[in-house]
Structure 1
């Protein structure tokens, strides 16, 4: 009986030793931050709580490689961070709405947030803004296009309603080819990546 008890205790001890490592692995991911001076610092990154009830952190948690101390960094503290093939950058970002029309400002007076970079070229960046639904803690995102140097971004889609055609046409007012394609009876553009590629070819010098 004593021998069986010892074996059971050994199993419990092993499970207790393994669980924190598993939990840590699920919470933190191997990644990096980009410091204000442009240096890339490797380490472990955590930017949200575990599922199923997700919440995005205002400040990411970061453990520099070889160190156990956890530090917190907000969008004003670092230029960006990344993990598992995902990259986030700090950007000024302010959403304003007037009669259900939304605009997204990027001037320096706007507060900074972390935006996920999906595609990037010299003349156009495809971002995603991550958010959590208040009613069900479900993580979601919406796409944004940004011309570097512009005071605004444009939201590309509106949920199930598809492309925000009028807003896109206004943002790319110097690109009649895009307006023509968006409002055509039969357009070949069905997805945001396809729209991004079209803009690169027809709208970006």
Structure 2
């Protein structure tokens, strides 16, 4: 074998080794990502694998059962009522049974009680948690493919959520002023329009409104 052939052979071997290492790294990375997804059942079991909760077909809609595919390719479906929470693509969803409270201000302040007996089950997207928790309720309108959402806030001790935003109106200021009546500092910030987004409301409350 001449010098040129030896160089070509070495180059080929190097390429094969590089491709093999890349393939192994990709496989390990994929398995690592898969382990990030899980389903937690009300009975206490935590099951890892690829989680699916939206049917991407036409029409786009939520699956009636949460789907899990394990690393060995086995798939299983779980009734929503049996699922306490799940995590998909690094986002956590928690199960709540909610019923809307009917009050004189219900049109401008939808209030959602946590009511396991009479409410409807929703999986709320966890945005942030603290003394004031920030969730999003997602839905898909009929005939549409976009995933829409609204912001729900709940103080740690409260058995209900309030809706904090609405479309282009952004913050429901009157609702927030009523809900945070125990914290003059955030009321002042809202009135002076120093706070314009829901995440700012949550951040301000958790930093300035805790005794």
TM range (shorter): 0.7 to 0.9
Aligned to 1:159: 167
CA apart distance, 1:154 = 1.1
Query: Structure 2 matches for 1:11-160, cutoff 5 A?
Result: 30=34, 31-50=37-56, 53-66=59-72, 68-74=74-80, 76-96=81-101, 100-101=107-108, 102-109=110-117, 110-121=119-130, 123-160=131-168
Question: Structure 2 vs 1, CA of residues 179 and 54 (structure 1 numbering), >3 Å: closer, same or farther?
Answer: same
Whole-angstrom distance in 1 between the partners of 2:57 and 2:203: 33
Whole-angstrom distance in 2 between the partners of 1:140 and 1:71: 25
Question: Structure 2 vs 1, CA of residues 64 and 151 (structure 1 numbering), >3 Å: closer, same or farther?
Answer: same
Rg bigger for which structure? Answer: 2
Asked if 1 retains the 8 angstrom alpha-carbon contact of 2:65 and 2:77, the reply is no
Normalised by the length of structure 1, the TM-score is 0.75
Structure with more helix by fraction: 2
Of 188, 201, 204, the match for 1:198: 204
Question: Which secondary structure state, in structure 2, belongs to the residue aligned with residue 134 of structure 1?
Answer: coil
Asked if 1 retains the 8 angstrom alpha-carbon contact of 2:67 and 2:75, the reply is no
Whole-angstrom distance in 2 between the partners of 1:131 and 1:159: 14
Moved over 4 A (4+): 96-99
Unpaired segments ≥5 residues, structure 1:
1-24
Question: Which secondary structure state, in structure 2, belongs to the residue aligned with residue 79 of structure 1?
Answer: strand
CA apart distance, 1:43 = 1.4
Asked if 1 retains the 8 angstrom alpha-carbon contact of 2:127 and 2:135, the reply is yes
Whole-angstrom distance in 2 between the partners of 1:127 and 1:56: 18
Write out per-residue CA displacement over residues 161-181 of structure 1, whole angstroms, 9 at most, x where no aligned residue: 121111112222211222221
Unpaired segments ≥5 residues, structure 2:
1-29
1:183 aligns with 2:188: no
Paired residue total: 174
Which segment drifts farther, 81-90 or 65-74? 65-74
Which segment drifts farther, 123-132 or 188-197? 188-197
